[in-house]
Amino acid sequence: MERKQMTTRLILILTLFTVSATVFAQGANPTVGSRLLPIPTTIETPRTLQATFRSIKQKADEKNTGGFRGSCPQVEVARTDSTFGAGSYTLQAGFAQGEILAASYDVPLEDFPIRIDLAEVMFATSNATQETTTHWSVYIWDGAPSTGTLVASYSSDDIILPHLVMPPGTSGMIISVSVDPTDPDQIYIYNDSGENKFTVGFGVDQHNNPGNPCQSSPPINSNAFPTTDISGLDFPNDNWINAIDGPWCVCGVGWFTFQQFPSLCTPSGDWVLRAAYTPVNCTVEPAACCLTNNSCLDLTPTECEALGGISQNPGTNCSSYVCGSGVGACCVESTGNCVDFDLNTCNIVGGIHMGEGTTCDSTTCFPVGACCLPDGACIGPVTPEDCVAVAGTFQGDGTSCSTTNCPQPIGACCGPDWCLDLTEADCSAVAGSWQGMDSLCVDPVICSVPCPEDLNGDGLIDVSDLLEIVGSWGSNDPALDLDGSGTVDTPDLLAVIAAWGVCG
């Protein structure tokens, strides 16, 4: 699949959810030929991580036909009724490394061309016994993935675009990818396919532990998987999967809609995936736009904003308007002062011009103050930019750590037979064991010990664990001697049978 080098600046938002549920296998067992192993899951408590990066851009021969973000109303599209918030989901634990999930969205002919603004998908883990790292990609097609044209693709590299990293336990993560609205390079769909639709897909390039594709499901306790909703399969012709090839892959190879996929392999719900686009042909009258180098272009306000310029009043044009002639706040870094100067004078004194029409009375040139860090510590005085760079929350100009009470992080506090979400200090005060910031008691395994009967560590207590006992019958292997008698024998076999099912 071709991937083009592009320069569009994107915004990646990873939204982390902790999960509370008794997780169990439903439907088909992970046997040969079973593509998707559904795991019912309940997700709660969203958390957000954000990164900005640069990646791909539109084809060099594509034409910009009009307005930028904001010229027309944005249209949100989804083939799922999920709100992407707290609620129940189905984790598709048989999704193999190298496969792609996708959904197609119809667009009225008169809306084309469109700009793609957003793509979001939910992944989840189930009783993971370790931190999982998933390499992933996002794809955008003009038309359907099987018949249309791949317009854009982005792959995580953990340098520019982070991999999907999820903690041990049961949790969910939304990958949210959007194009920076201020970037002049956007992603456009021109309906060259003639199908009046576009498709968004996400692929697993590398599982944390891929297992044996098609022969068995990837190990549930060491991987993250995509999710489907629980309300039924409402759009079988618009949900897609790109299935991998292999000697035991009986579901088929290549692109299938859920309608085409064998019923043995088809999920019972729609992918938890959504997108947003904006038509670009709405009419907005241009006005004079002053760019950072004082040049002037007649552009719509949103086109001007996308190029980093300042749009002047409606009715102005570059034939009569002189950019840089107006007076505004001028911040002089060498003295820390502010003077109302025109742009030319501000440049002469080495100041930073804050824009025509701004005033020193309403401008704080160089704010510094206290910064609260995620771990509850306070640093400062620092600038807002330096605070954001360390993932902190700026407390305002003139604030100080001596008078600022930063919120302390909450984490699961485990007692002998209880769990409470407390600060570390409160947990210590009640003689509990604090599990660290961002841990929560809704995680059903946060205070539990691993299942000793899960001898192969795959998250399931099943035939594989029985065979471990039988294979070492009569030995003194301490890992298999579950009752501590000194011999691997019948009581150990019965212990595995008694704990049969999903670990935890």
Q: For residue 357, is pLDDT > 70?
A: no
Query: Which residues contact residue 463 at a Cβ distance below 8 angstroms, ignoring those fewer than 6 apart?
Result: none
Of 253, 305, 338, the closest CA to residue 33 belongs to 253
Average pLDDT over residues 315-337: 78
Lowest pLDDT segment from 77-81, 246-250, 393-397, 417-421: 246-250
> How high is the pLDDT of residue 186?
83
> How high is the pLDDT of residue 53?
31
Q: For residue 339, is pLDDT > 80?
A: yes
Confidence of residue 214 (pLDDT cuts 50, 70, 90): low
Measured from the Cβ of residue 61, the count of other Cβ atoms closer than 10 Å reads 5
Q: Which two tokens stand for residue 15?
A: 């939204």
Q: For residue 7, is pLDDT > 80?
A: no
Confidence of residue 215 (pLDDT cuts 50, 70, 90): low
Query: Which residues contact residue 297 at a Cβ distance below 8 angstroms, ignoring those fewer than 6 apart?
Result: 288, 289, 291, 304, 307, 309, 318
Measured in whole angstroms, the distance separating CA 378 from the mean position of its chain's CA atoms is 28
> How high is the pLDDT of residue 282?
67
Q: Across 281-410, where does the E strand assignment appear? A: 287-290, 296-299, 310-311, 327-332, 337-342, 352-353, 369-372, 378-382, 393-394
Give just the sign of the alpha carbon dihedral 427, 432, 436, 437.
negative
> How high is the pLDDT of residue 247?
61
pLDDT in tens, 440-468: 898 877 887 667 888 887 778 888 888 88
Average pLDDT over residues 420-434: 92
> How high is the pLDDT of residue 26?
33
Q: Note the helical H segments in 224-300.
A: none
Q: For residue 68, is pLDDT > 70?
A: no
Considering only residues 399 and 34, tell me which one the structure prediction assigns the higher pLDDT.
Answer: 399
The answer to whether the beta carbons of residues 375 and 407 sit under 8 Å apart is no
Mean pLDDT of the chain: 81
Average pLDDT over residues 47-73: 37
Average pLDDT over residues 350-364: 78
> How high is the pLDDT of residue 13?
61
> How high is the pLDDT of residue 365?
87
Considering only residues 382 and 214, tell me which one the structure prediction assigns the higher pLDDT.
Answer: 382
Q: For residue 320, is pLDDT > 50?
A: yes
Lowest pLDDT segment from 2-11, 135-144, 439-448, 452-461: 2-11
Of 92, 93, 89, 95, the closest CA to residue 21 belongs to 89
> How high is the pLDDT of residue 135?
96
> How high is the pLDDT of residue 8?
56
Average pLDDT over residues 229-258: 88
Average pLDDT over residues 164-192: 85
User: Long-range contacts of range 478-481, CB-CB < 8 Å, 24 or more positions apart?
Assistant: 479/455, 480/455
pLDDT in tens, 74-84: 899 999 999 88
Average pLDDT over residues 293-307: 84
List the beta bridge partners of residue 51.
Answer: 12
> How high is the pLDDT of residue 313?
65
Confidence of residue 16 (pLDDT cuts 50, 70, 90): low
- For the whole model, what pTM was predicted? 0.53
> How high is the pLDDT of residue 252?
84
Q: Which two tokens stand for residue 310?
A: 């300042």
Give just the sign of the alpha carbon dihedral 125, 131, 135, 137.
positive
Q: For residue 316, is pLDDT > 90?
A: no
Confidence of residue 390 (pLDDT cuts 50, 70, 90): confident
> How high is the pLDDT of residue 502?
83
Considering only residues 301 and 55, tell me which one the structure prediction assigns the higher pLDDT.
Answer: 301
DSSP 94: T
Q: Quote the crossing angle between the two packed helices 490-498 and 463-471, to the nearest 10°.
A: 170
Domain spans of the chain, in order of start: 11-58+70-279, 284-323, 329-362, 369-403, 460-502
Considering all CA atoms of the chain, what is the largest pairwise distance in Å, rounded to the nearest integer? Answer: 96
- To the nearest whole percent, how much of the chain has pLDDT over 90? 35
Taking the C-alpha atoms of residue 130 and residue 85, their distance in angstroms, rounded to an integer, is 24
Q: For residue 340, is pLDDT > 80?
A: yes
34: left (phi over 0), alpha (psi -120 to 50) or beta: beta
Record: fold of 460-502: Type 1 dockerin domain (1.10.1330)
CA distances from 195 to 149, 290, 380 (A): 11, 40, 56
> How high is the pLDDT of residue 62?
33
Q: Across 244-349, where does the E strand assignment appear? A: 254-257, 273-279, 287-290, 296-299, 310-311, 327-332, 337-342
> How high is the pLDDT of residue 148?
95
Taking the C-alpha atoms of residue 52 and residue 55, their distance in angstroms, rounded to an integer, is 10
Taking the C-alpha atoms of residue 205 and residue 98, their distance in angstroms, rounded to an integer, is 5
Q: For residue 430, is pLDDT > 80?
A: yes
Confidence of residue 306 (pLDDT cuts 50, 70, 90): confident
- To the nearest whole percent, how much of the chain has pLDDT over 70? 81
The answer to whether the beta carbons of residues 381 and 367 sit under 8 Å apart is no
